[in-house]
Amino acid sequence: MKWIGAALLGGSLLLPPFLAGDFYINLASQILIAAIFALSLNLLVGFGGMTSLGHASYLGVAAYISALLTSRYGFGHGTAALIAISGTIAMAAFFGVIALRASGLGFLMITLALSQVLWGLAYRMSNVTNGDNGITGLTRPAPFGISLDNPVAFYWFSLIMATVAFLMMMIFVSSAFGSSLKGARDQPRRMAALGFNPWLIRWITFIYAGFWGGVSGLLYVYYHKYIHPSSLSITSSAEALLGVIAGGSGALGGPAVGAALVLLLKNYASAYIERWNMLLGLVFLFIVLVMPAGIVPGFSRLIAGRRGAQR
């Protein structure tokens, strides 16, 4: 039953290019990008028990490196992407060493402080980042000579990347290492007594999550062809965290659904009201107070309950 549902959901992702207009195909591409970002954050929040409020750092830094290298220094997209991803991994390794000195709320505060510092840097270092104007006039890459400027081509590209990301993260959490990660989340002292190194497990996970955050950042900058400091802001981190929590951090696919809902809400709402941040705040209050376990686990419990009643 669960597999049929997953297959249906997966199959439906193949449909947009055949059914929908450009607007909806672009929206679907954005959802895929947000889903990769939220899934990578969930490696920390759901599977590692490390609630980060600074995950936008990885998205933003990868996007900025790629944007700067391609637009200002004449690098090709392939090389720029490699450098951007390596830079993001190095930054995640460094931030991980700092943030993992603490746990719980201390971890949250340090990740938030670090990402706010990067956000401030992107605003103030205007001779490098162009400050509040952002970097415009970027291009999309053309892998194997296929231009991605067409929405349908970009959708297929995002879908392939999202599928790879989903599978890679699924393998990661269902591997032996993933089990030791959950062990380090629930019983760090017992894990240490068994000879595992909880700190190292968390650090590797932190870097892996930073890596996928960087990949989503590359897709983000390819899609928008524009980058602004707001992609590093606390709002950007908070949207992803809301996606994770709304979707349910326990299930692997939950954050993807949550991210889709947040993005749809943002797009739909911004057509009618200007105040996205206010709505985001209210949704935060609503989800935490009313649906603390998330929407996906909430619904699956509902369905499971109905099936139980039929029997």
- Candidates 86, 163, 235, 300: give the one binding other proteins (CB under 8 A): 235
Instruction: Pick left, alpha or beta for residue 144 (phi over 0 → left; psi -120 to 50 → alpha; otherwise beta).
Output: left
State the binding string over 252-291 for other proteins (x if CB under 8 A, else -): -----------------------x-xx-xxxxxx--xx--
Q: What is the DSSP letter of 244?
A: H
Tell me if 105 contacts other proteins by CB under 8 A. yes
What CA–CA distances, in Å, run from 160 to 65, 146, 167? 23, 14, 11
Closest approach, Cβ 285 to other proteins, in A, equals 5
Closest approach, Cβ 142 to other proteins, in A, equals 35
In the block, tokens 């107070």 appear at 289
> Please, are residues 26 and 151 in contact by the beta-carbon 8 Å criterion?
yes
What CA–CA distances, in Å, run from 85 to 92, 93, 270, 286? 10, 12, 32, 36
Tell me if 53 contacts other proteins by CB under 8 A. yes
Closest approach, Cβ 295 to other proteins, in A, equals 15
Cα 199 to chain centroid, rounded? 23
Q: What is the DSSP letter of 194?
A: T
Select the span of 164-172, 231-239, 257-265, 302-310 touching other proteins (CB under 8 A).
231-239
**How many binding residues for other proteins (CB under 8 A)?**
44
> Please, are residues 88 and 256 in contact by the beta-carbon 8 Å criterion?
no
Tell me if 188 contacts other proteins by CB under 8 A. no
Closest approach, Cβ 81 to other proteins, in A, equals 25
Tell me if 68 contacts other proteins by CB under 8 A. no
* Residue 138 tokens, joined: 């970027």
Binding site for other proteins (CB under 8 A): 51, 53, 98, 101-110, 112-114, 116-121, 124-125, 127, 233-235, 238, 241-242, 245, 275, 277-278, 280-285, 288-289, 292
